[in-house]
């Protein structure tokens, strides 16, 4: 019961703030609403007992990405500036597409009976996560870990090269 109340609060926060992120005309406010959405999502992860994932969500998403976005907003637009939205017909067409898509997806979800597993949950402690992340045997995720590290290196070099001033 308590969980249900918490879930309803968190999902209400997520839905309201993600709608406001998409609909508000002030870009900086929209970034702050995005921050609230990400915080509420971290709350959902806490509810599901994935503490480490919730911490990663808080530090990387809410701490890193939102700050990056706010920086770039401040660099590229005035605070008082109102964002331009699409025309009325485009809004209506997008809303129709989105409602149709959501309807089809929700119908598919409801027509499939998910059977929750009865097995005991493995603990998602720091130790087991760290062991699995660098393990290459069963239940090991060393390969994706290495791929992500190479991707991060490539992105760092790419971002520096893209954003640096051209030497004339």
Partner 1 sequence: MHQGIPLHYFLILSTLMFFIGIFGFLTRRNLITILMSIELILNSVNINFVVFNRYLFPHELQGHFFSMIVIAIAAAEAAIAIAIIINIYRNFRSIEVEKVDEMKH
Scan residues 120-139 and list those touching partner 1 (CB under 8 A): 120-122, 124, 128-129, 132-133, 139
Per-residue buried b or exposed e for 90-122, using 16+ beta carbons within 10 Å of the residue's own CB: eeeeeeeeeeeeeeeeeeeeeeeeeeeeeeeee
Size of interface with partner 1, in residues (CB under 8 A): 82
In degrees, rounded to 5, the angle at the alpha carbon of residue 106 between the alpha carbons of residues 103 and 109 is 150
The least distance separating partner 1 from the CB of residue 155, rounded to whole angstroms, comes to: 4
Q: Measured from the CB atom, is 121 or 167 closer to partner 1?
A: 121
Give the N- to C-terminal CA distance of the chain in Å, as an integer: 66
152 binds partner 1 (CB under 8 A): yes
Among 80, 89, 115, 137, binds partner 1 (CB under 8 A): 115
Give residues 9-68 in contact with partner 1 (rule: CB under 8 A): 11, 14-15, 18-19, 21-22, 27, 30-31, 34, 37-38, 41, 44-45, 47-50, 53, 56-57, 60-61, 64-65, 68
Alpha carbons within 13 A on the beta-carbon side of 120: 2
């Amino acid at each position: 019961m308590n969980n249900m109340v918490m879930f309803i609060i968190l999902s209400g926060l997520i839905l309201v703030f993600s709608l406001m992120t998409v609909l508000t005309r002030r870009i900086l406010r929209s970034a702050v609403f995005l921050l609230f959405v990400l915080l509420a999502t971290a709350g959902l992860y806490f509810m599901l007992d994935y503490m480490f994932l919730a911490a990663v969500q808080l530090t990387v998403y809410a701490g890193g990405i939102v700050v990056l976005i706010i920086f770039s907003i401040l660099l590229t637009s005035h605070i008082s500036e109102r964002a331009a939205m699409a025309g009325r017909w485009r809004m209506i067409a997008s809303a129709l597409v989105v409602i149709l898509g959501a309807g089809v997806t929700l119908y598919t979800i409801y027509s499939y009976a998910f059977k929750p597993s009865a097995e005991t949950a493995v603990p998602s402690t720091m130790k087991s996560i760290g062991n699995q992340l660098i393990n290459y045997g069963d239940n090991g995720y060393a390969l994706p870990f290495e791929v992500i590290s190479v991707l991060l290196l490539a992105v760092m070099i790419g971002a520096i090269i893209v954003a640096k001033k051209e030497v004339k």
